[in-house]
Amino acid sequence: MTLDDIMVAPSILSADFSRLGEELATVAGADLIHYDVMDGHFVPNLTFGLDVLRAVKASTELPVDVHLMISNPDEMVEKYLDAGADLVSFHSEATAHAHRLVSLIRDRGARASVALNPATPVSVLEPILDDLDMVLVMTVNPGFGGQSFIESSLKKLRRLRRMCDEHGVSPLIEVDGGISARNAAEVVSAGASVLVAGSAVFGAADRASALAAVRAAGESGRSRRG
Ligand code: DX5
Ligand code: ZN
């Protein structure tokens, strides 16, 4: 797998929590499982935490991409690593110690990512960009599945891509929120390569074909990259 391969990460936020094991089995053809942790404080919604992460890890072979939408990542990141997170995204808006957290995550052998809310400029990443495995660009305001993609995210993705080129680095760029086969080509052509899809996958009766449709649309956008 090269950095330019499109990866699809179904978000289990839109899965049926009463049958999580079976739901995970329906997306075995994905690249990552996207795991949304919400604390009812950083975002106005509450989801799941460490125990459910351990259960998910025991039920899938896929790497788990943990998206921490929590106010206190400094206190919690280590616990999520202990519970088996393979990739950890914490929000830039939630910590004054991004560099310290990135080092901690990487020292533990996991991949480190910083997430940006729609209103946070990519320039906040300037000092730490060289140390990141991934940048998560929120393409909706975090908190809920099923929201509409924010169009201005495309400009932000292009700006991020340019900044990465200037730094001579190529972290993965993940987009999260309102992604479907309808806009996957556009976000990929603007610079994304990891596509989170919640309702577009779990809202479909046939998950394998929903995954394949998002992937195919994403791949079609790769050749259009400027
Ligand atoms: C939103 C979460 C997303 C969410 C995406 O705050 O971070 O991961 O599950 O859901 P869709 O794809 O339905 O917008
Ligand atoms: Zn997410």
* Backbone angles phi and psi of 14, in degrees to 5: -95, 10
Mapping DSSP to helix (H, G, I), strand (E, B) and coil, where does residue 39 land? strand
Rounded mean pLDDT, 205-224: 96
Residue 2 lies in a domain: no
According to the model, what pLDDT value does residue 80 have?
99
Distance CA 89, CA 205 (A): 29
CA–CA distance from 52 to each of 13, 66, 176 (Å)?
12, 12, 21
Beta strands across the sheet bearing 194-197 = 7-10, 194-197, 172-176, 134-138, 111-116, 87-91, 64-69, 33-38
Mutation pick for ligand 1 pocket among 16, 89, 140, 214 (CB with most ligand atoms within 8 Å): 140
Residue 104 lies in a domain: yes
pLDDT in tens, 1-37: 455 799 999 999 999 999 999 999 999 999 999 999 9
Which listed residue (31, 39, 65, 176) is catalytic? 176
Q: Domain range for residue 189?
A: 7-222
- Going by pLDDT thresholds of 50, 70 and 90, the confidence category of residue 108 is very high
Residue 1 lies in a domain: no
Residue 93 lies in a domain: yes
CA of 127 to the centre of ligand 2 (A): 24
CA of 203 to the centre of ligand 1 (A): 12
The distance between the two most distant Cα atoms of the chain, rounded to a whole number of Å, is 46
Distance CA 226, CA 108 (A): 36
Those residues whose C-beta lies under 8 Å from the C-beta of residue 218, and which sit 6 or more positions away, are 6, 8, 184, 185, 187, 188, 192, 193, 195
**Which residue CA neighbors atom 4 of ligand 1 most closely?**
145
Distance CA 156, CA 122 (A): 7
Question: Residue 105: is its pLDDT beyond 60?
Answer: yes
According to the model, what pLDDT value does residue 1 have?
44
pLDDT in tens, 57-98: 999 999 999 999 999 999 999 999 999 999 999 999 999 999
Domain count, the chain: 1
* DSSP at 147: P
According to the model, what pLDDT value does residue 223 have?
85
Rounded mean pLDDT, 158-164: 98
Distance CA 71, CA 42 (A): 5
10 ligand 1 Cβ < 6 A: no
According to the model, what pLDDT value does residue 96 have?
97
Query: Is 131 annotated as catalytic?
Result: no
Distance CA 23, CA 161 (A): 34
Identify whether the C-beta of residue 27 lies closer than 8 Å to the C-beta of residue 211.
yes
89 ligand 1 Cβ < 6 A: no
- Percent of the chain whose predicted confidence (pLDDT) is above 90: 96
Give DSSP secondary structure letters for 73-125: HHHHHHHHHHTT-SEEEEEGGG-S-HHHHHHHHHHTT-EEEEEE-TTS-GGGG
- Percent of the chain whose predicted confidence (pLDDT) is above 70: 98
Is 0.85 surpassed by the pTM of this model?
yes
Atom of ligand 1 nearest to the CA of 199: 13
Rounded mean pLDDT, 125-136: 98
Those residues whose C-beta lies under 8 Å from the C-beta of residue 186, and which sit 6 or more positions away, are 154, 221
Mean residue pLDDT across the chain: 97
The CATH number that applies at residue 116 is 3.20.20.70
Rounded mean pLDDT, 171-199: 98
CA of 127 to the centre of ligand 1 (A): 28
Cross-strand partners of 136: 115, 174
Question: Residue 225: is its pLDDT beyond 90?
Answer: no
